[in-house]
Amino acid sequence: MSQTPPRRGDEQFSGEVNSMFDRISGVYDRMNRVMTAGLDQTWRERAADRVRLEPGQSALDLCSGTGDLALALAERVGPEGRVVGADFSRPMLELADVKARNFGVAQVEFEWADTLDLPYEDESFDAVTISFGARNLADLPKGLSEMYRVLKPGGSLAILEITQPSRQPLASFFVLWFDRIVPLLGKFAGDSSAYEYLPQSVRSFPDAGALADHMDAAGFRHIRWTLMAGSIIALHSGVR
């Protein structure tokens, strides 16, 4: 497929990101497992732990995609709790739904929502999470202010994201892996532009310290972050 990767700053950015995820939904999980040697699920488990949910509580997983983090949250809130997995790609949501049904998880609902304009009331959830979604948002401050708005006071936010390492030898490994190998894998998966977009989107996203500053500006407190996988993955958290 010879599509052009979405470019941040373009007026059509959100729409292009949306159709790109519609297009790659069928290969998305498999590509994640291959690109991360299966580690991506461990990182999502850590994000789910970070928001410290209790049985019976509620959580919102934004940019939920095929639903893996939402399902990890569902385990933590148990059958009395409630999890909403929200995304603006219908094909991704359909796959998430099938997954939840296959696992017999009833306390999670997947629904269409734009992270930049959430259809939920103020102070609705005990926790909000977003994994590998924040760097796709056309307006990060707007997204963070929506996350803050729908969290209950005292509720936690966790953001899991790829981050660009600044130190050697990881920085060179990052270039080799994301600029050369990932687009090649994308070609085999049938959509090279989507996997050319991936390294571009990481580069145009704030580094770990700058993301923490954005969270602070949105009103979050007790902000901290952990770097994983040799500083390529960052897990940020904060409290409303």
Ligand X SMILES: C[S@@+](CC[C@H](N)C(=O)[O-])C[C@H]1O[C@@H](n2cnc3c(N)ncnc32)[C@H](O)[C@@H]1O
178 binds ligand X (CB under 6 A): no
The nearer residue to ligand X, 111 or 123, going by C-beta atoms, is: 111
**Cβ-defined contacts of 30-35 (< 8 Å, 24+):** 30/189, 31/185, 31/186, 31/189, 31/195, 34/185, 35/182, 35/185
Closest CA relative to residue 144, chosen from 209, 238, 52, 69: 238
Q: Tell me the residue nearest to ligand X as measured from the CB.
A: 65
In the list 115, 156, 163, 164, the residue contacting ligand X (rule: CB under 6 A) is 115
In the list 34, 39, 116, 227, the residue contacting ligand X (rule: CB under 6 A) is 116
In the list 6, 16, 17, 196, the residue contacting ligand X (rule: CB under 6 A) is 17
Segment 22-81, which members bind ligand X (CB under 6 A)? 44, 63-65, 68-69
225 binds ligand X (CB under 6 A): no
21 binds ligand X (CB under 6 A): yes
- What CA–CA distances, in Å, run from 74 to 83, 97, 102, 111, 178? 6, 13, 14, 15, 32
136 binds ligand X (CB under 6 A): yes
Q: Answer for the pair 52, 98: CB distance below 8 angstroms, yes or no.
A: no
In the list 110, 132, 178, 197, the residue contacting ligand X (rule: CB under 6 A) is 132
- What CA–CA distances, in Å, run from 57 to 51, 68, 239? 11, 18, 16
The nearer residue to ligand X, 69 or 147, going by C-beta atoms, is: 69
Pick the stretch among 112-120, 171-179, 184-192, 207-215 that binds ligand X (CB under 6 A): 112-120
Q: State phi, psi for 235 to the nearest 5 degrees.
A: -115, 110
87 binds ligand X (CB under 6 A): yes
